[in-house]
Amino acid sequence: MANDLCFFNKGTFIIKPPKKSPLVLRMIVLAFAMICGVYICLICLNQINTHTKTRLVNFPVIERPCHASGIKKWEIPYVHYPKPKTYSRAECADNPVKFFAILSMQRSGSGWFETLLNSHINVSSNGEIFSVKDRRSNVSSIVKTLDKVYNLDWFSSASKNECTAAVGFKWMLNQGLMQHHKEIADYFNSRGVSAIFLFRRNLLRRMISVLANSYDQHAKTLNRTHKSHVHSLEEAEELSKYKPTINATSLIPDLKLVEERTAKALEYFKITRHIILYYEDLINNSTKCQKLIDVQEFLRVPPRDLKSNQVKIHKGSLEKQVVNWNDVQKTLTGTPYESFFHSDYQI
């Protein structure tokens, strides 16, 4: 105890506490450090596992097709690799497919033009699919039908199936196209669908064809069967015997209405990749070949000699095709539509 007492000159003293063992303190510090280390390691391991799971979810492995070589950069949005649900494309699975739609009006040559396209070994145009009202009853029905066509799951006599290089159909402006133009344009632009506009310059000739076709739907001239298109000269001659009477009073308003509808269609789909064709240019021997080459280049398919077995029904001068020609001539003389009197293509 004598060693634990410190004396001072002023008669006071301090009692020093006994010293603790330094070994005990070191053991306590070591144990605390070990506990902290284990805790930190557990937290780090938990975070590593969480990040690993997140990466696996956010970055799945996607199977991509082997794209064909030679595709230009601007073409990429318009090149597709469909995977049909109803069959396998087999060796053609890696062959690119282009989507298209022929936008037209009745009696504008779209049926004849479609047979020309379908004579190409790699093109499938599936007809007037929206002539069935249920398929165009609302936007959902339209999109469902479009998806089926462009997924190569639509079957028709024109289907080339697995080795198709361009697939589409023809769509009349009065079959829901104008009514739902915004949604359809959005679909075309997002899915990379190209539009082929086909119109007639001579709207008077088109009107005669419309009236004659409407008459035959009820008369069924050919063996009690209605035919919109024929494949023999005899059938064409028989159908051409009917001469309609045109309402001279509503003639100009009716022609203007068709012009306005055409202009609206071009405006609605102006940002969609498209080409504009006229029936007169396709029927004219001097321009037909080049226009058909232009279409094939537009669809990015190898150029071929396109053929059709359809026969034109109404030929010759207009005055021989209308009952009340004098009334029609009087109504249109002096108007911009007077030019329709003159033959603008050679038959």
In this prediction, residue 27 carries a pLDDT of 74
**pTM greater than 0.85:** no
In this prediction, residue 158 carries a pLDDT of 78
Name the band, by pLDDT with cuts 50, 70 and 90, for residue 15: very low
- What spatial distance separates the first Cα and last Cα of the chain, rounded to whole Å? 137
Average pLDDT value over all residues in the chain: 86
Q: Look at 100-104, 113-117, 281-285 and tell me which has the smallest mean pLDDT.
A: 281-285
Percent over 90 (pLDDT), the chain: 69
In this prediction, residue 193 carries a pLDDT of 98
State both tokens at 272.
Answer: 């969609």
217-261 confidence digits (pLDDT tens): 999 999 889 989 999 999 999 999 999 999 999 999 999 999 999
Q: CA-CA distance, 196 to 276, in Å (whole number)?
A: 6
Neighbours of 194 (CB within 10 A): 19
Q: Look at 56-70, 80-94, 173-187, 326-340 and tell me which has the smallest mean pLDDT.
A: 56-70
Name the band, by pLDDT with cuts 50, 70 and 90, for residue 6: very low
Is 281 a residue whose pLDDT tops 50?
A: yes
33 or 191, greater pLDDT: 191
| Opening angle at CA 201, ends 168 and 294, nearest 5 | 45
Is 275 a residue whose pLDDT tops 80?
A: yes
Name the band, by pLDDT with cuts 50, 70 and 90, for residue 163: confident
In this prediction, residue 50 carries a pLDDT of 52
Burial 236-273 (b: 16+ CB within 10 A, else e): bebbbebbbebeeeebeeebeebeeebeebeebbeebb
Is 301 a residue whose pLDDT tops 70?
A: yes
Q: Is the dihedral of CA 159, 160, 163, 167 positive or negative?
A: negative
Name the band, by pLDDT with cuts 50, 70 and 90, for residue 156: confident
Specify whether the CB–CB gap between 4 and 14 falls below 8 A.
no
Name the band, by pLDDT with cuts 50, 70 and 90, for residue 12: very low
Is 344 a residue whose pLDDT tops 90?
A: no
Specify whether the CB–CB gap between 346 and 268 falls below 8 A.
no
316-329 confidence digits (pLDDT tens): 889 999 999 999 99
The CATH code for residues 78-341 is 3.40.50.300
In this prediction, residue 342 carries a pLDDT of 82
In this prediction, residue 14 carries a pLDDT of 46
Specify whether the CB–CB gap between 102 and 110 falls below 8 A.
yes
Q: Minimal CA–CA distance to 289: which of 303, 275, 273, 299? A: 303
